[in-house]
Structure 1
Amino acid sequence: MKQLPGFVDKQFPNHICLLKKAIYGLKQAPREWFSTFSSYLIQYGFHSSSTDPSLQLFHHNSVQLYILVYVDDILLTGNSSEIDKLLYALHSRFSMRNLGPVSQFLGLQITPTTTGLHLAQSTYASSILHKASMVDCKPVGTPLPNKFLHDVKSDALYKRPEHYHRLTGALQYLTITRPDLLYAVNFLCQHMHLPLQSNYNMLKRVLRYVKGTLSLGLPIQPSSLQLTGYADSEWAADHLDRRSITGYCSFLGHNLISWIVKKQSSVARSSTEAEYRALSTAACDLIWLRRLLAEFQLLQSEPTKLYCDNVSALTLATNPVFHAQTKHIEIDAHFIHDCIRTKQLSVHHICSQDQPADLFTKSLSSTRHLQLRHKITIQPSIVILRKADKDK
């Protein structure tokens, strides 16, 4: 560290300080803190997750403990009274506060319900509306209009690009519990480098949708522990570069746990190719989820089912014979072949009308958007009112 003003050594003014302890606020401080904390947990008996470096796991006989660390915010859970013993050990080594049962974590509101938990970010969403001066705006039923054309030549640049950047970046974090916003936010993020006035108008429409759906979030309820995935794509969705959009979501039982919206890296020559690339993208995420669940001792004994609504793409995924129509596809897109051959995944057909990943590939009508939003289990939190005591 450079010598502080007023404390410069006159004999060695160009020397720097060798730190023996990390100072809060420096770039290396979070890394040093995590290294110190994780080293102590490893001595206690934990081991680091190979799929998520911020996750620490403890397994001994029937005792299971899990710690998730994000800088100085720590989430601890387990199935035994061993938690109290661990908390005592942590308090004796570190200056920490036990905040009790989780209610908030990194801006996420975690509300107990009669059937499980409800994850939401209504307070954070309200702060975004306040920053945009749209607290009293009129709500709309969908994030984006059903059909719209983007004419770059006749559109003017937005005069406050930094304002567009802040609001769009804030909406990105909101998609942690609001996957119904993901396609719209992905569209807005594609214009971060040069936002136009029409892009800002779209941003305001997304905020109007947020205004009318502040209470929405993701429920977590007891269900089966079977992992399933759904992959879809919209061929040549972007009218400027003609690239397709990949949409994917996965469920653990009835609980939505993962979702992706991504523009494909190259132009697909057919809808089959676009769907095939979406399958490969989904396969990568499902393999990672299978490994993560295995570390939670939730082994997936059967091949994970991956659903797609394109019969030709399913045929291409299961048929190892390459021909002239597929030789231009990159090798990484054929990753799904090995997943099927090793029986980690199995691909199945689903009707387009029942495809939940359709929500992540295009803007939809209000009716269709509401139908798919319900299908991926997004719902408002249920507030349970207790009857007032008669003596009060």
Structure 2
Amino acid sequence: MLLTGSNTMLLNSFVVALHQEFDIKDLGFLHYFLVTCTTNGLLLSQSTYALDIIKRAQMEGRKPMNTQISPKYKHLDDVTPFHDPTHYHSLVGALQYLTFTRPDLSFSVNFVLQFMHSPMQGHYQLVNRIIRYVHGTITFGLHMCKQSTLNLYGFSDFDWADIVVRNLMGHTQKRIDRFKDTRRSTSGFCKFLGSNIISWSAKKQASISRSSSEAEYKSMANATVELLWLSYLLHDLGILQNRPPLLLSDNQSALHMVANPVFHARGKHIEIDYHFVRENVQQGQLRTRHLPSKLQMADIFTKPLDKPTYEFIRHKLSLIPQHNLRKGVKNTEIVESPPCKESPAKNKIVQSPPCKERSAENEIINKTTQIKEITRQNANQLICVK
């Protein structure tokens, strides 16, 4: 909660009244400003906090990175125990707080969080790569567009049996055991209200999935719980939905299990999740639909991606850079142009022509400068004659 006002005594009395009613903690003065107004909405950015993380890691002069984790996990080759686990805990904890406005960091930060108990040198190198990525995208923030619909929908995806284990195949068993992989799948989802992302998650599942259909169905069950909770919250706030929320998935087997009540052959061991999702679909509280894998927005929460795919999904999540205008420049406006092949940039800064008053003022200044220069030259000539 942020309190502001011109009367200090009134603010102090209000804080005292809150202490008497609730168990709260006064954090003192404001250190970071999160929200920036734009021409068509709000931009949530933690750029100042991200800069503090970079300084804490002493990586101001390092080369920025375009992605966080390599799809081949090359940074995990070094299994030497890291000499300063406290420093590792500090950096990873700071990155976890940064994910509040940076959903693109969720998967990588969740991954390095799994090794807090015994970090290796390879894990610390991966943390450094994440910080270098933050350094390269330090002006990025989460954009909330004000001209949007209020339709609620979400994307659900999974990574079966953990891609890290599959990438470690061919290495020694000792190296695999060092990373303590449990073969549990990774679930990821994101929820949108119109064009604005409002909820996201990336974490390991609670148990091992014996098939990809089971892993996807568990992910769909978790996403269904979140969607229903958001729909109830919107209803309590007076925001009514014209139709049930929509859940999008790229796994056809899991979608067939929702639609076909007889399709039990590969789903007997996931009966609870199966009946939970199917019951909500039958009651009209949820809709499901298939979408192509290349349009799956939840991929960024479950696995490392190549640069083009990563940047495409990041843009779709409304993560855009903040425009840094020169201090003191006036008559400048930000004009949003529709994306096209000729101009892939989304936003363009257009300098408006100077006004007549400013032109007249500049002309007077120029004439005054010319008169001073002529007077100085005449004075120099008189000195030479004497």
Q: Is TM > 0.5 for Structure 1 vs Structure 2?
A: yes
Question: How many Å apart are 1:107 and its aligned residue?
Answer: 4.1
| 1:199 maps to amino acid | H
Could you tell me whether the CA contact under 8 Å between 1:280 and 1:334 is conserved in 2?
no
Q: Pick one of 263, 275, 296 that aligns with 2:216.
A: 275
- The secondary structure found in structure 2 opposite 1:262 is strand
When residues 334 and 386 of structure 1 are mapped into structure 2, their CA distance, relative to the original with a 3 A threshold, is farther
Q: Pick one of 12, 36, 39 that aligns with 2:21.
A: 36
Task: Flag the structure with higher helix content.
Answer: 2
Q: Pick one of 121, 138, 144 that aligns with 1:197.
A: 121
Matched positions, count = 303
When residues 275 and 169 of structure 1 are mapped into structure 2, their CA distance, relative to the original with a 3 A threshold, is same
After superposition, where does 1:181-196 map in structure 2 within 5 Å? 181-196=105-120
The equivalent of 1:89 in structure 2 is none
> RCO (CA 8 Å, sep 6+): is it higher in 1 or 2?
2
After superposition, where does 1:306-325 map in structure 2 within 5 Å? 306-321=247-262, 323-325=264-266
CA distance in 1, matches of 2:126, 2:16: 39
CA distance in 2, matches of 1:209, 1:173: 16
Could you tell me whether the CA contact under 8 Å between 1:182 and 1:360 is conserved in 2?
yes
Could you tell me whether the CA contact under 8 Å between 2:101 and 2:141 is conserved in 1?
yes
Could you tell me whether the CA contact under 8 Å between 2:153 and 2:245 is conserved in 1?
yes
After superposition, where does 1:47-62 map in structure 2 within 5 Å? none
Could you tell me whether the CA contact under 8 Å between 1:308 and 1:350 is conserved in 2?
yes
Could you tell me whether the CA contact under 8 Å between 1:113 and 1:382 is conserved in 2?
no
What's the CA shift string for 1:348-380, capped at 9, x where partnerless? Answer: 001000111111111011111111111111101
Question: How many Å apart are 1:278 and its aligned residue?
Answer: 0.8
Deviates more, 1:333-342 or 1:140-149: 333-342
* RMSD, aligned α-carbons: 2.8
Question: How many Å apart are 1:322 and its aligned residue?
Answer: 6.3
| 1:356 maps to amino acid | M
When residues 108 and 336 of structure 1 are mapped into structure 2, their CA distance, relative to the original with a 3 A threshold, is farther
Which structure's CA Rg is the greater one? Answer: 2
| 2:212 maps to amino acid | S
After superposition, where does 1:334-349 map in structure 2 within 5 Å? 334-349=275-290
Q: Pick one of 169, 174, 177 that aligns with 2:93.
A: 169
| 1:120 maps to amino acid | S
Q: Pick one of 123, 129, 133 that aligns with 1:209.
A: 133
What's the CA shift string for 1:192-223, capped at 9, x where partnerless? Answer: 11100000000000000000000001111120
What's the CA shift string for 1:227-251, capped at 9, x where partnerless? Answer: 1100011111241322211110011
1:352 aligns with 2:276: no
Question: How many Å apart are 1:108 and its aligned residue?
Answer: 5.2
The equivalent of 2:156 in structure 1 is 231
1:386 aligns with 2:330: yes
Could you tell me whether the CA contact under 8 Å between 1:144 and 1:205 is conserved in 2?
yes
- TM-score, structure 2 length as denominator? 0.72
When residues 271 and 131 of structure 1 are mapped into structure 2, their CA distance, relative to the original with a 3 A threshold, is same
CA distance in 2, matches of 1:321, 1:108: 54
CA distance in 2, matches of 1:227, 1:208: 34
- TM-score, structure 1 length as denominator? 0.71
Question: How many Å apart are 1:295 and its aligned residue?
Answer: 2.2
When residues 333 and 217 of structure 1 are mapped into structure 2, their CA distance, relative to the original with a 3 A threshold, is farther
